[in-house]
Amino acid sequence: MPRKRLPILDRWPLVRQLVARDATGLADTACSARTRTLRPRTEQADRVVRSVCPYCGVGCAQRVYVTGGKIQDIEGDPESPISEGCLCPKGAATTQLVTGDHRARHVLYRRPGGTRWEVLPLDTAMDMVAARVQHTRDRTWQETLDSGQGVQRTLGIAHLGGATLDNEENYLLKKLYTALGMIQVENQARISTVTGWRAVSRSAGSPSSQTTARPRAAAGSTPAVTRAA
């Protein structure tokens, strides 16, 4: 016949631990009655959409929980063979990327000599960018070098991409820039993420960790500097 205990003693975690032989307090005895009533905030979602974190090339998988047509939360996808449900702090904050009220939602423009930002319609801003690209390309176009070697290029425009660009966007961007004659096309991942990559490759034992990075100039490539023409 089970021994009866006073209810007040049952509310004392230490007693529950002793009775359940849970010395570390990491088992069920650590759970209060209130905790047992709590449910995950994602449980009420209407649907779950699978996605990929937009921040970096690791490509951790995400689950986007949607309620009433609005994003309720974004969490790691345990079925991802890459991240197995984990997200780094950037990826874990993806919900704010989409829903944060401090996010800039308009094109802001500060004209030369201006002291304040102006809000521009996106179409106007796109037309201004296109006009500047054409003007700079026309002004700096090189058909040949002084030696007579044909190059058909402009050194007046360079591009520095961000890690949020995906494969498809990068493909289209490089295609466009090559067609424009631009040769200075770079991505921040090769400037900043390379340190993380080297650390990961060392700890993961990649064969590439045996290689030594050489300065790009040694390979005859162009400098990774964004220029304004």
**Interface contacts to ligand SF4, rule CB under 6 A:** 53, 55-56, 58-60, 83, 87-88, 90-91
DSSP code for 208: G
Nearer to ligand SF4 among residue 58 and residue 160 (C-beta): 58
> Can you name the residues that pair with 141 across neighbouring β-strands?
154
Give the DSSP per-residue string, 181-195.
TEEEEEEGGGTTHHH
Nearer to ligand SF4 among residue 124 and residue 164 (C-beta): 164
Nearest approach, Cβ of 52 to ligand SF4 (angstroms)?
A: 7
Nearer to ligand SF4 among residue 154 and residue 187 (C-beta): 187
Nearer to ligand SF4 among residue 91 and residue 181 (C-beta): 91
Which residue has tokens 């904050």? 93
Cβ–Cβ under 8 Å, residues 50 and 75: no
Cβ–Cβ under 8 Å, residues 87 and 116: no
Cα→Cα distances 229→129, 130, 134, Å: 13, 14, 11
Nearest approach, Cβ of 60 to ligand SF4 (angstroms)?
A: 3
Nearest approach, Cβ of 206 to ligand SF4 (angstroms)?
A: 16
Nearer to ligand SF4 among residue 81 and residue 113 (C-beta): 81
d(CA 182, CA 153): 6
CB count in 10 Å sphere of residue 190: 12
Nearest approach, Cβ of 82 to ligand SF4 (angstroms)?
A: 8
CB count in 10 Å sphere of residue 206: 13
Nearest approach, Cβ of 212 to ligand SF4 (angstroms)?
A: 25
Element (H, E) at 198: helix 193-204
List all residues 6 or more positions away from 191 whose beta carbon is below 8 Å from its beta carbon.
Answer: 224
Nearer to ligand SF4 among residue 13 and residue 59 (C-beta): 59
Nearest approach, Cβ of 175 to ligand SF4 (angstroms)?
A: 25
